[in-house]
Structure 1
């Protein structure tokens, strides 16, 4: 690709590029289908920054749908659409773009982790998001991708629901033909998961998302914001596939994992209810959150923090993992130094570091251990000292942390668009782009073998059938 062609790539436009009546001031972020630029109006009448979202693919119908949905919504907690248009690079096809008001703030999960957020503050922010959903639903629309990464919160606690690229509205034409509509796996409702399982043999089946799916996703978002982890999937597909498999852990109320007030605890559980009717509409959820934020007692003013036993058990679990690794690495030396019997006893103690604790403490520690299951033994134990740069992948949510660079031998672009996804592992560094496949897996399985990217579970693609040790059974 020539330097001139590189200059006109829609995901890498240089500062000063004019798109319609807007001048690019800098790159803000890239997504799968579009890049967001910080722009200013060419006309002096429009002061300040604006956000311009430019499609990666010419004539992308998603932007037509997103622009139409944004034009129907009038709400303070949804970005205001300023313009819809087309940008044509020299000698090329037209690319759709959208211009919206610029929104300042940090992503919801980062905001929740900063400082000492209280249940009252959290309920106010969640109420604002519920009102944004209410306005979307009133416009006969659906967001379909509610999650913390699509929410910005200002220092004053003003929340904005972003990115309606996965959204739709009544009468919109179908863009994708997959069984489930666009979305992020941990936020799928029980109804969507059950439909996926019931219709997996029918390639024509398509789940019709509802307003209740948006409310459920808001519940998952709230749960993750206050506890730092996802709730278990709304439907245990692992048991559906294999009835002999152990059931997934039950849903723990947020108050079991963090110091949230009773009102917030109950409202999050309501949004996560299996029955759509029990969740209520976005308007009803907003009204209850606003009422609770106003009338809740002193417990709502306490900082949200992990329960002390969760912190202790997590530290104990990590210590046990480190001891097991060191023992196995030192096994040959210990075998000769202290004898087989002593080594067996020491190994048993390291593998069972909680013997003698109460049953309740053992259960909490075991849960923490399972929540961060290490990868296969051959990859858990690093044979290179950390001082030389080796670092074990850690679970970040539903899966292992993505590497910063492709694995040795991994397939590099161009990727097969039918089954593969091209991922830039280090933003802004094209040399880190590599090929991955999106898989549907339980959180437990993904933490062992998969890597988390944008809330989904991914496996690296290799030119041959040979997989790295961490991905073998």
Structure 2
């Protein structure tokens, strides 16, 4: 076998162990996912996740987790391992179920997705997390893309345990926080990050309540069409909002959301972890209880439609001016940057405010401690807007669209900052609206790989 460049996908027909590659489903920073066919059983298809680098400890860690502690009816099922291109020295990959279906946020925008069904899905995910937590397993990167709604039976399946943790797991990296998606990090984790400079070498101990907070963010996204705080905000401002600003309740963002469901989600997003549901089992019971209500709104589609287009409510956020609210990064002014970011967020957001002091995370058992890292990123003035999810990417239509940060934008020529309408971004004197990309109904999963 000839060695394939690490950054090139395997060609259809390539044989890896006892599987034949059918197509590449996507590539990310750590690996690629393929749909493969069992050579011994033609017509049986699976997903194959292959590490991009040899001796990838993350891949070995994920395999160890998927083979044992993470086995569960609502976790994507593990089938075997293979290496490529050499069967002993090549890059590690593993085979799992190929699960046709939709990510939770995509499913929520489909016809027939109701609030009652969403509550049932959330309850099942909560119970699954409770079972995993009882075994000492933490997902640590729960997001809508990692909750797949299976097409065959409408049941949720958890994907991508690449940064998951379990007792005695080898560390991924060193640093104060585990690997994470910024807009899904809990308030107590952000507070720990802020205090970590005063205690060098300390590491945040991810808790079950962190996974449940992330599930709350996923349910917020599914019910409103938006995240509690825009994912493209500058990191420092986003962190300050997570710690200090109470998100607008889903029922006030989207009038179709049943109030009881909105209250469950609001509790999941409490700043103090002690005010949230104490376990996945408790959350499961709460969601099952509210879904028993007989109000007809529970059985309506989550989003209205105008022909084939989803009608989302406006995003609950302020409009940015062209000037960044956070000064350029200088090491000796780091604490002042946080204060400024928080102050700007309080002034701009039309929502309630939580206490100003960062929440203290309860001291966990030493057994939960894990090594990992997320560093705060620098923010430069006049930062170009980042593409949002489901936005059309370059190449853009010349003469009609503006290309920025590899995304395509419409410039609203008759409107200028600071009077930009909702769901637009102000940049260099223009109001920019993200051009949506077409969203065909997905027929397969990414196999657990984050492909954004």
CA distance in 2, matches of 1:103, 1:61: 26
Alignment partner of 1:288 out of 282, 286, 289:
286
- Tell me by how many angstroms 1:22 deviates: 1.4
**Residue 27 of structure 1 pairs with residue 62 of structure 2:** no
Change (3 A) 1:30 1:109: same
Change (3 A) 1:220 1:10: same
Q: Secondary structure at the match of 1:117?
A: coil
> Structure 1: which 5+ residue stretches go unaligned?
322-364, 369-374, 380-385, 394-399, 405-443, 452-473
- Tell me by how many angstroms 1:248 deviates: 6.6
The question of whether the paired residues in 2 share the 8 Å contact of 1:152 and 1:159 is answered with yes
Change (3 A) 1:296 1:24: same
Choose 100-109 or 78-87, whichever is displaced more. Answer: 78-87
TM-score normalized with structure 2 length: 0.64
Q: Secondary structure at the match of 2:290?
A: helix
Alignment of structure 1 residues 83-232 onto 2, 5 Å: 83-89=80-86, 93-115=89-111, 117-155=113-151, 156-200=153-197, 202-232=199-229
CA distance in 1, matches of 2:11, 2:196: 46
Change (3 A) 1:37 1:313: closer
Change (3 A) 1:57 1:282: same
Residue in structure 2 matched with residue 356 of structure 1 by the alignment: none
- Tell me by how many angstroms 1:200 deviates: 3.2
- Tell me by how many angstroms 1:390 deviates: 4.8
Higher RCO, 1 vs 2 (CA within 8 Å, ≥6 residues apart): 2
CA distance in 1, matches of 2:166, 2:245: 36
**Over alpha carbons, which structure has the higher Rg?**
1
TM-score normalized with structure 1 length: 0.61
Change (3 A) 1:402 1:226: farther
Alignment partner of 2:298 out of 300, 307, 311:
300
- Tell me by how many angstroms 1:274 deviates: 2.1
CA distance in 2, matches of 1:52, 1:240: 35
CA distance in 2, matches of 1:167, 1:36: 18
CA distance in 2, matches of 1:59, 1:197: 33
The question of whether the paired residues in 2 share the 8 Å contact of 1:146 and 1:217 is answered with yes
Q: Secondary structure at the match of 1:29?
A: strand
Residues 334-362 of structure 1: per-residue CA shift (max 9 Å, x gap): xxxxxxxxxxxxxxxxxxxxxxxxxxxxx
- Tell me by how many angstroms 1:55 deviates: 0.4
- Tell me by how many angstroms 1:51 deviates: 0.8
> Structure 2: which 5+ residue stretches go unaligned?
305-310, 321-347, 352-380, 386-395, 409-421, 433-452
Alignment partner of 2:399 out of 379, 385, 389:
389
Please give the root-mean-square deviation of Cα atoms over the aligned residues, in Å. 4.1
Residue in structure 2 matched with residue 359 of structure 1 by the alignment: none
CA distance in 2, matches of 1:201, 1:230: 31
Change (3 A) 1:312 1:52: closer
